[in-house]
A and B are shown apart, each in its own frame.
Chain A
Amino acid sequence: SQTIHQWPATLVQPVGSPLSLECTVEGTSNPNLYWYRQAAGRGLQLLFYSVGIGQISSEVPQNLSASRPQDRQFILSSKKLLLSDSGFYLCAWNRAQETQYFGPGTRLLVL
């Protein structure tokens, strides 16, 4: 069966510091991978998605970036965090047009 991992689970970072969140999927190959952000009172906002190694599509312009160095690894990064980057970050995967399955999430608080 497939499982999806995210770490860290919780992160508190000062404004202006860098960020790196990691997501890995087990039990499948060549998945589509997604990064979402969920802010209080708002729905899930798609940030990035990837259909293969090195292929990244950005949905929302911001100071975040994503990379996919390996088939089942997806990384969300920032060089300098803003207060508005606080939120709950979710990684998801699927195959082709099938159902997306979500990871446990990372709670990020920027102070």
Chain B
Amino acid sequence: EDQVTQSPEALRLQEGESSSLNCSYTVSGLRGLFWYRQDPGKGPEFLFTLYSAGEEKEKERLKATLTKKESFLHITAPKPEDSATYLCAVQLPSGYSTLTFGKGTMLLVSP
């Protein structure tokens, strides 16, 4: 069965304290891996898509990387406004473009 596991479930950082979120997946083939940010009570907001091992994408303080078994979302010198739940999802190569999501990592950055 295809699975996506995110860790940790929750992470509390001080402003400026860099860290990484993990998304591990066990799927039979991978078409793409997606990262989203979700603020409380709102829909997920797209951040990155990664397609192949070794690929990296950056946006402001965030950098996403991909290996054959997992993806990391690195947060450098986070600010309080980076507080949100970060969701990871995988898209399989066959069939329609449905996504399988992990449960997310809730990040809280304190000033």
User: Interface on A for B, CB 8 Å cutoff?
Assistant: 32, 34, 41-44, 46, 49, 51, 57, 59, 88, 90, 92, 94, 96-105, 107
Q: Chain A nearest CB: distance from B35 CB in Å?
A: 11
User: Interface on B for A, CB 8 Å cutoff?
Assistant: 4, 31-32, 34, 36, 41-46, 49, 87, 89, 91, 96-104
Contact B103 A94 (CB under 8 A): no
Q: When chains A and B are docked, how far (Å) is the Cα of A107 from the Cα of B40?
A: 11
Contact B46 A42 (CB under 8 A): no
Question: Total A-B residue pairs with C-beta atoms closer than 8 Å?
Answer: 54
Q: Is the interface of B mostly helix, strand, loop or mixed?
A: strand
Residues from chain A with a CB closer than 8 A to the CB of B41 are 88, 105, 107
8 shortest interchain CB distances as A-B pairs: A102-B43, A44-B101, A43-B103, A43-B101, A97-B97, A102-B44, A105-B43, A104-B43
Residues from chain A with a CB closer than 8 A to the CB of B102 are 43
**Given A43-B103, A43-B104, A101:B96 Cβ within 8 A:** no
